[in-house]
Amino acid sequence: MAISILHIWDTAGVASILSKYLRKCYNVKSDVVNINTLDPFNITAFYYGRCYPKRTLTTIKFLVKGLNYKIIHVHSAYRFVKYFRRIYPFKRIVMHFHGEDVRCTGWDNLKQIIRQSNLILVSTPDLLEGAPDNVVYLPNPVDIDHFKPNLNLRREKTALYFLKHQRKEDLKWTKEIVKQYNLKLYIHDRKRKPIPYSQLPPFLNSFEFYIDPSYPHAVSKTALEAMACGLKVVLWNGEIIDKLPEEHNPFRVAKKLWSLYQEML
């Protein structure tokens, strides 16, 4: 069987972007399946992935679909690993952690999942703390075809803050930053008013600054997307970045992942 990849779940759209650039760079079969309730911003649908309703039979559909792929790349939903391993003992399984899946569970409680996986990835460097030696950091990719600067929309001296975790200290810190730079603050609750992924680039481009306190200390994917749009992104340590770091270039990330796939086979 030629190399083919099935991505299970689409945390923050990472699976969709990896799938897109793997196809683009290596012309491989790379598909994404997700659950409707986990795609409030319609990211998976934007990339033509398949979203299923959240039902018991959905898990069975995922497992059956895995038959046609050589690599099964699981994002966050680590409970799937044991099922795929039992049904397909000779397939290559990748477990990709994206944040809360590790922070809430702890590495010590993930030993069985790690043993059953052929490759373990994390999407932010802070997740390497306390991780087994074989865990690999794969930077979050940003779709630079989708996120790019549009200066015609830019409003000077404006700052955007997305409510996250409802942490009062984050909002307090944000207001201090806004005061320091004499900015007009716009607070948006993405849970109450979701912004479709297709509309996120023009929305971001209408601001000059993006505030990313990020608890814990890891650059959020939205902050990276804001950087790709050319916004000045203020991080938790006060650093300001207005250009997407090269490690998050999707072509570079796809190349690294392809290399890891090759080593695993």
Domain spans, the chain:
4-139+249-264, 151-246
In single-letter form, the type of residue at position 38 comes to L
Which structure tokens are listed for 151? 């200066």
Categorise residue 132: left if φ over 0, alpha if ψ from -120 to 50, beta otherwise: beta
Q: Which of 137, 184, 129, 134 is nearest to 161 (CA)?
A: 184
Domain 4-139+249-264 belongs in CATH node 3.40.50.9100: no
- Is the pLDDT at 151 greater than 70? The verdict is yes
Bridging pattern class, strands 158-162 and 184-188: parallel
Q: Which of 214, 202, 248, 263 is nearest to 18 (CA)?
A: 248
Q: Which CATH architecture has domain 151-246?
A: 3-Layer(aba) Sandwich (3.40)
Q: What is the mean pLDDT of the chain?
A: 94
pLDDT number for residue 168:
79
Chain segment 194-226, per-residue pLDDT in tens: 999 999 999 999 999 999 987 667 899 999 999
Position with higher pLDDT, 56 vs 80 = 80
Categorise residue 216: left if φ over 0, alpha if ψ from -120 to 50, beta otherwise: beta
**Once rounded to an integer, what is the mean pLDDT over residues 119-140?**
96
- Is the pLDDT at 167 greater than 80? The verdict is no
